[in-house]
Amino acid sequence: MSTGTTKLDVVVSDVVPVNELVTRFHFRRRDGELLPTFSGGAHVVVEMRDGERTRLNPYSLMGSPLDTREYTISVRRDDVGRGGSLFMHRSVKPGLEMVISYPVNLFSLDLRAKKHLMLAGGIGITPFMAQTAQLAGEGGNFELHYTCRTASLGTYADVLRERYNRRIRLYHDDRDERIDLDRLLSTQPLGTHLYVCGPAGMINWVRDRAAALGWPSEAVHFEHFAAPQPGLPFDVTLAVSGKTIRVDEQQSLLEAIEAAGVDPPYLCRGGVCGQCETNVISYDGKFIHNDHWLSEEDHRSGCKIMPCVSRFEGRSLVLER
């Protein structure tokens, strides 16, 4: 049985530019009812109907889980990506009717924690907006360290400082401010859980240092949705459904499979949840694996691919779909 999510019919209730790169979108239900309750760290998948093309991108919910009149997401414009964020910035206006998924949480707080230590980089701040609101409402103990390129690109830094004051520490790249990570990780009380969301380099750095300093892996949580990367077009044969499809430069393999009328299960569309894992029957060429789900051994084996983020270059690829 497929484990996709239920859909929600929403209308864009507001579009707010936050700074030169980031815009915030507000959604309400079309029927006027409340939206489903969610937990801090949850995301929704937004369906973007852009002419002939449908893109589905995940975005963290950043409002307070205590307020279900509307959902809010923040989208960073990516001028060299596949066009999802550009579509959001250019074409999504108040009043537009859209479809989003029910919330899914793959970056949940561990509620056993005595303290929640959060590290955010850039647009990786968004899940922490909801998590801090949830914890503040329950009197939870948290501390957030937030690195951004410049003060003007420190999305929501002002809001967070105003809400939580000294619990928020800011670091600006242009002022050469750096998190003293080893010191930070070495001076936490027992029972602290660590959460990191940001660019891949930052996540790897934090995970490596935490492991080196003896943090148990169960206490280190991270979320990194890989955005599907554009690439050369390639052809794929879907053996189960008997179809041959072409994946365009700006399209993900998963989107191309869906456009052919085949619906594999999915949750995150970012290479982390494992739902769309697909067996490779045969291939002649090389894989470009971009996921965080399969092991290195799986990547080397040529037997599996995550079609949401990974691509292929070569003469032929046959998948069990």
- Which spans of this chain sit near another protein (rule: CB under 8 A)? 1, 3-6, 36-39, 41-42, 65, 102-105, 108-112, 134, 138, 218, 267, 273, 275
CB 308 within 8 A of CB 266: yes
Distances (CA, A) of 81 to 15, 57, 223, 227: 21, 12, 20, 8
In the bound state with another protein, the residue whose beta carbon lies nearer, of 102 and 164, is 102
CB of 3 to another protein, least distance (A): 5
In the bound state with another protein, the residue whose beta carbon lies nearer, of 247 and 273, is 273
Please give the Cα distance from 104 to 301 (Å, whole number): 30
CB 269 within 8 A of CB 292: no
In the bound state with another protein, the residue whose beta carbon lies nearer, of 110 and 162, is 110
CB 23 within 8 A of CB 16: yes
CB of 272 to another protein, least distance (A): 12
In the bound state with another protein, the residue whose beta carbon lies nearer, of 61 and 153, is 61
CB of 108 to another protein, least distance (A): 4
In the bound state with another protein, the residue whose beta carbon lies nearer, of 161 and 207, is 207
- Dihedral angle, C-alpha 12, 90, 79, 198, nearest 10 °: -20
CB 153 within 8 A of CB 21: yes
In the bound state with another protein, the residue whose beta carbon lies nearer, of 108 and 237, is 108
CB of 85 to another protein, least distance (A): 25
CB of 66 to another protein, least distance (A): 9
Please, what's the b/e burial string for 118-156 (b: 16 or more CB within 10 A of its CB; e: otherwise)? bbbbbbbbbbbbbbbbbbeeeebebbbbbbbeeeebbbb
CB of 162 to another protein, least distance (A): 24
* Strand pairing report for 142-148 and 304-305: unpaired
